[in-house]
Amino acid sequence: MAITLGVNIPSYNAQMSLNSITKSLTSTMEKLSSGYKINRAGDDAAGLVISENMEALIRGSKQAQANIQNARSFLTIAEDGMVTIGDHLQRMNDLLVNMANDTNDVTSRTAAVEEIIERIDEINRLAEATNFNGRVMLGAKDPNEQIIVQMGPDETTTSILDISDALTDCHIDKLGASLPHNLNPDSLVAADGTTLVVPKKVDNGAGGTTTKYYKEDGSEYTGGLKEVNGENVSGYDPNNQNCRNYMAKIQDSIAKLSSCRGLIGAYENRMDSSYDAMTTRIESLEAAKAVYTDTDIAQEATNMTRQQIMQQYNVAILANANTIPQLALSLLG
């Protein structure tokens, strides 16, 4: 090889080798310091795409687990409300069983009816008051309304669950257990003896009140009331058969409420299973993702040692290569 002053080829070769090994050493140290094999797309473009897709599934699955926990809390609150309403219905059933016994007189039956009326008011209050994040759960409900739980990390139908069937309108009339007029001390009989009307005091517009009567359908009744000896007659008649008839409605309501609670339990068990399966899936995805993203510390430590030695070696070679042009001076004597 010619000895020249213009171009020092050995020096250029040594510089390129030193730059390459320094770049590799920098990359290795970055992997060791961050703990990640892929710190930028250039490290592994294909691996980056795969790992990011897995990351989306992992994070989506973890959020789906949070959704399941929220949904279980939602159903737990709904069931708590149903439990309380069911307790009221059970007590009403106890009272009616007692009232159906002819050892009770009208006075004792009326006392039981008054308790039933208070419990009906409380059932209706609970139907309105039971809510989750401001959403009424046991009140008026659109039969077509869906309550979707996103239980998976994607848009497929297998990732969702509609829990709306577990909820029902728990107002006493929607449960089919409205207090019949023959057990309502405030009910009256219309003049024709067939139409039952309910009195209500309303504002008369002059600072006072007036009593108006309404039919079962809510329309105002303006006819006369049935009278005996010049006095209005109540439709109230707490005889044993009327008590038994209402008892049957209460028991039907208890069965309806129990059915909803059973469905809540089924949904909760299904969501628990889904949660556990999601945990296993997340673990598997994390392990698969780690193959692409996590640094093998032992391997990279070995690489760093080798690269440091090579770097020092190339520095020495470069120093020697830079002395080659000095040989030209010796030729000039």
Reported as a single tens digit per residue, the pLDDT across 148-190 is: 999 988 888 888 999 999 999 999 999 999 998 889 887 777 8
158 and 151 Cβ atoms separated by less than 8 Å: no
Cα 331–332–333 angle (5° rounding)?
Answer: 90
Q: Which residue has the higher pLDDT, 212 or 43?
A: 212
200 and 190 Cβ atoms separated by less than 8 Å: no
List the single range of 5-9, 174-178, 187-191, 201-205 with lowest mean pLDDT: 5-9
CA distance 103 to 213: 34
Phi, psi of 186 (to 5 degrees): -95, -5
In the chain, the amino acid numbered 257 is L
Cα 65–68–71 angle (5° rounding)?
Answer: 155
pTM over 0.85: no
Residue 23 has pLDDT above 70, yes or no: yes
**pLDDT band at 257; cut points 50, 70, 90:** very high
Q: Which of 319, 328, 323 is nearest to 5 (CA)?
A: 328
Which whole-number Å values give the CA distances from 213 to 4, 109, 166, 180, 188, in the listed order?
121, 25, 38, 17, 9
Phi, psi of 160 (to 5 degrees): -125, 155
DSSP state letters, 182-194: GG-TT-EEBTTSS
Q: Which residue has the higher pLDDT, 159 or 2?
A: 159
